[in-house]
Amino acid sequence: MTEAIGLLERLVGFPTVAGTGNAPLIGWVRDYLEAQGAKVTLLPGPEGDRFNLFATIGDPNLPGYVLSGHVDVVPAQEPGWQGDPFVLRREGGRLIGRGACDMKGFDAAVLAAAPQLAAMPLAAPVHIALSYDEELGCRGVPHLLSRLPDLCAPPLGCIVGEPTGLVPVLGHKGKAALRLVAEGQAGHSSRPDLGVNAIHALLPALTAAAAQAEALVHGPQDDRFAPPWSTLQIGTVEGGQALNIIPDHAEARIEARAIPGADPRALLDPVATASDVSVEWLSSYPALALDPGHPLATLAAELSGNAPQAAVSFGTEAGLFQQAGVPAIVCGPGDIGRAHRPEEYLREDELAGAVEMILALGRHLC
C-alpha cells in the first residue's frame, strides 16, 4: 500500500487540469513503466501539448485486456479546500487531493500493480491506456483508439476505472454538447431599427431546445436509467451589456444525454439548425451498453467480488471503446459523489482494493 499511496501522491502533484498540457506527468509515467519492462508508446494529440499513453505488459500480438484511465482533472478553485489540492494529504484513512478519486486513484493502482504483473507468466497481455481531456467530453481518447490496431491485437475487453465503488457497471448514457454563437450590431435600445439583437437571433434555437427536451420525456425509455429517457438542457446563456444597449453578442451551451440506441448528436440536430447562428460542437461520446451475459461482465464480477450494476448516470470513455469494437465495462475505486468537489478523496482501503482487483486480473491471465 505504501507504494500505491506514493504513486498517487506523485500523480496528484502534477496539476493536469483539463485543457492544459500533461507532458510532465506522461513522461514520468512512461519512465516508470519502461523501468518495469513495459512497452510504452506516447500518442501526441493535435493540440501539441497533450499526450495519450499506451503501454503493454506481455505479448502485444495476443488478445488481452485494457486498463483505462484518464489523467486530466477538473479545476480546483473552490474555496472549500483545506490545503493545496495538488499536494496529497493523508487524514484518517483518506487520501485527499484533486483527482484522488476521479481518477488518479485508479491510475495509481494500475502503476502500483505493474511490477507484479511484469513478473507474472502472463498468457495474455495487460494494456494500460491513459488519456487526456476526458473531463472536456472525452476529447483525447479517440486519438488513442484510432491507433489501437497498430499497437496491439484486438483486445478481449477494457476496464475503465472511473469511481464505482469497485462495482462493475454495464451501461451509461451518451452525451453531446454544442455552443451556439450569435453576432449582432450594437446600438441604443431606443433605435432597434439601427441595430441587430444577437439575443433575439438565439431565440429560435432556445425555443427548439426547450421543445426537444419536452419531446424526449415522451420518447424511447430505458428503465436502467434515472430518468429513463434521453434528456436535453440549456446549460448557459450569455449576452448583452446593459438594458439600454442592443446586444451585439450572445451565446448558449446546450447538452443532450442519450440512452443506449440513441445518437446524442442527432438529439441536438433540431437545435443546431433552428437559428442562423454559428455552431461549435464541444463534445460527443456514445452510450455504453454491455450485455449482462458477456464474458467481460462475468470476469469483472469475479475480479472485483461484486455483482454488476445495470447503469450509472455519469458518462465515461467506455462507450468509445465499445464503439471501437472493444467490449468495455466501468469498474474503479471510490465514489463519484466525491468527485469535482473540494476535499475530494479516496480511502486507503479503496486504493488497496483496486490494486488487488488488477493483480487478480494478472493471476487470471496466467
**Catalytic pick among 9, 72, 248, 343:** 72
Label the pairing between strands 231-239 and 345-347: unpaired
Which grid cell is 342?
473540494
CA 10 to chain centre: 21
Residue 176: how many other CB atoms lie within 10 Å? 25
Q: Give the ranges where the chain is alpha helix by DSSP (H).
A: 2-12, 23-35, 104-119, 141-151, 198-217, 264-272, 295-304, 318-323, 348-364
Residue 193 is which amino acid?
A: D
The yes-or-no answer on residue 72 being catalytic is yes
Catalytic choice (9, 102, 107, 134): 134
Does residue 271 contact residue 254 with C-beta atoms inside 8 Å?
yes
Residue of 84, 72, 109, 185 lying closest to 347 (CA atoms): 109
Residue 134 bears catalytic tag: yes
DSSP 202-269: HHHHHHHHHHHHHHHHTS-B-TTSSSSB-EEEEEEEEE-S-TTB--SEEEEEEEEEE-TTS-HHHHHH
Please give the Cα distance from 133 to 17 (Å, whole number).
8
- Name the residue with cell 502500483: 112
Catalytic residues: 72, 134
